[in-house]
Amino acid sequence: MEMSLRRILRKASQFQKIRDQGPGAIRAYQQEQLNRLVNYARNKSPLYRELYHRVPERFVLQDLPVTSKSLIMEHYDEMVTDPRLKKAAIQQFIEDTSNEGNTYQGEFVITHTSGTTGLRGFVAQHITEWETFFALNSLKPCRAPSTPGTWPRLLRSIVSGFRVAVIAGTGVYLVTPQAFLIMPPVLKRLSRVDLISTLLPVNEMVDRLNRFQPDRVHGYPTMLEALAHKQLEGELHIRPLDISSSSEPLTPRARNTLKAAFGVFVENTYGATETWVMGKECLYGQMHLFIDGCIVEPVDQHNQPIPPGKQSAKILVTNLHNLSQPMLRYEMSDSIMPQDDACPCGSPLPTIQLTGREDDTIYCQAPDGTYVAFPPMPLETLMLGVKGYSMFQIEQEERNLIRIRIVPSKGVDPGKVRQQVHTQFCTHFRRHGVGESVTLEVEAVEEVLRSKVSGKGKQISSLVGPPPAKPR
């Protein structure tokens, strides 16, 4: 089954019409979708039928039990609503990296997640549900100005193809590359996509981009910031019409560096594998939640709602449009702060401050005394390439001493998993010029370390922090 651009455009138009009617219409649509989702899950999913057996027909959101990745992955075959979705078969499908960019059984898009706790999982969406999120992702909180010279280059791209450079984890079914690989045929004909792995050294990325000359660049903020510095230093020479980022927080420093280097508006997206797009920033730098696509509940440690202006301990997310693999009140470790004030941009969508997802960038020292940065997302990508574990944790104990803890899957030889991890990371460190400098310790554990206060486990952390600032 192929994606349809016509269906995507129709859905996008319907979403926009509801937004144009204001917050009340959006909330009413949200409730309508929630009712539909709950009824469908209750009727089609054995797991949700059991979870909801005491939920009244006329319910409020807080009546629904909280779910988690461990619950969903442990009972996957009972949780999904389509009997063609089987955990063992999907795992076999995604273990073959040549399947990336293909649909499972011709109808389902599979995306892989390690999550901010290190627990592995995957999400299945029917191709029509994938189209819905394409439609949502095409929308903005408010109108953004076009970059000078946009229309001539867009017209030219009809002939030569609109060039998009995607800097992301490849070969492991992450949602970002999948979105550029599985798209309507007409968009494939009108675009040229260069997937650039985040595992490459920055200088190799620069060479690829200089040759490709993209019209658009999408990537993780930490990688985009590194490339912006290369542009300012004169090594990178590209003129993208626009830049978009996702998967990590876009810091004010990174935004300012990208603006100075490329002079274009950076569209920052807040999303997750389980929901795809959850929100986008407007021209005023405010993050607007796409509440027509999902429900995001900021809560404390006991799953109680928090008021505007207070930082949440975590969030509970309900994906309103994935009926194949329902995700209802799904626990995520993101920390957000809901806002109460109207945004000057005029968008009817509520705003938040995103304060969580604080994995660390690890800086190692090369033999010549310089420092090499290893951002979190590429390290997650490395771990997704390893088989036979359920959770992982990376900790930089000293500048060039890194410890990786893994929880092996049942029935798997821990020694073989540790060897896979060691080989992956040593190869990566050598490629970045610190292979002889870094000491890597990999150990199998029964569970990863967690905070005695919050109970959370930080996935990637550094005990030494960034390198000392250079004296001026």
What average pLDDT values come out for the chain (472 residues) when binned by 10 residues? 93 96 96 97 97 93 95 95 95 88 94 66 95 94 66 63 87 82 90 90 93 93 86 93 85 84 91 90 91 96 93 94 97 90 92 76 92 86 84 92 91 93 94 93 85 55 83 48
The DSSP 8-state label assigned to residue 405 in this structure reads E
Q: How far from 270 is each of 279, 339, 352, CA to CA, in Å?
A: 5, 16, 11
Domain boundary among 322, 354, 386: 354
| Bridge partners, residue 166, by sequence | 195, 218
332 found inside a domain: yes
Domain boundary among 306, 332, 354: 354
Please name the helix (run of DSSP H) or strand (run of DSSP E) that holds residue 23, with its range, or none: helix 23-44
470 found inside a domain: no
Q: Are residues 340 and 396 in the same domain?
A: no
Q: Are residues 175 and 258 in the same domain?
A: yes
Q: Are residues 287 and 348 in the same domain?
A: yes
Q: Are residues 312 and 445 in the same domain?
A: no
314 found inside a domain: yes
Say if strands 276-281 and 287-289 run parallel, antiparallel, or are unpaired: antiparallel
Q: Are residues 272 and 242 in the same domain?
A: yes
Q: CA 49, CA 192: separation in Å to the nearest integer?
A: 45
467 found inside a domain: no
Q: Are residues 248 and 396 in the same domain?
A: no
Look at residue 395 in the predicted model and tell me its pLDDT: 94
456 found inside a domain: yes
Q: Are residues 195 and 320 in the same domain?
A: yes
Q: Domain residues for 278?
A: 5-354
What tokens does 338 get?
């809901």
Q: What is the CATH number of the domain that holds 413?
A: 3.30.300.30
Given a contact cutoff of 8 angstroms between Cβ atoms, the answer to whether 81 and 155 are in contact is: no
Q: Are residues 237 and 381 in the same domain?
A: no
Q: Are residues 276 and 398 in the same domain?
A: no
Q: Are residues 350 and 366 in the same domain?
A: no
The CB density around residue 110, as the number of other CB atoms within 10 Å, is 23
Question: Which strands form 460-462's sheet, in the order they lie side by side?
Answer: 439-444, 401-408, 389-398, 460-462
- List % helix, strand, coil for the chain (3-state, nearest 5): 35, 25, 40
Look at residue 278 in the predicted model and tell me its pLDDT: 94
Q: Are residues 144 and 163 in the same domain?
A: yes
Say if strands 266-272 and 371-374 run parallel, antiparallel, or are unpaired: unpaired
- Give the up-direction half-sphere exposure of residue 249: CA atoms within 13 A in the CB hemisphere: 17
469 found inside a domain: no
Q: What is the CATH number of the domain that holds 114?
A: 3.40.50.12780
Query: Distance from CA of residue 449 to its chain's centroid?
Result: 24
Q: How many domains, the chain? A: 2
Q: Are residues 254 and 376 in the same domain?
A: no
434 found inside a domain: yes
Look at residue 456 in the predicted model and tell me its pLDDT: 47
What tokens does 362 get?
């690890």
228 found inside a domain: yes
Domain boundary among 332, 354, 376: 354
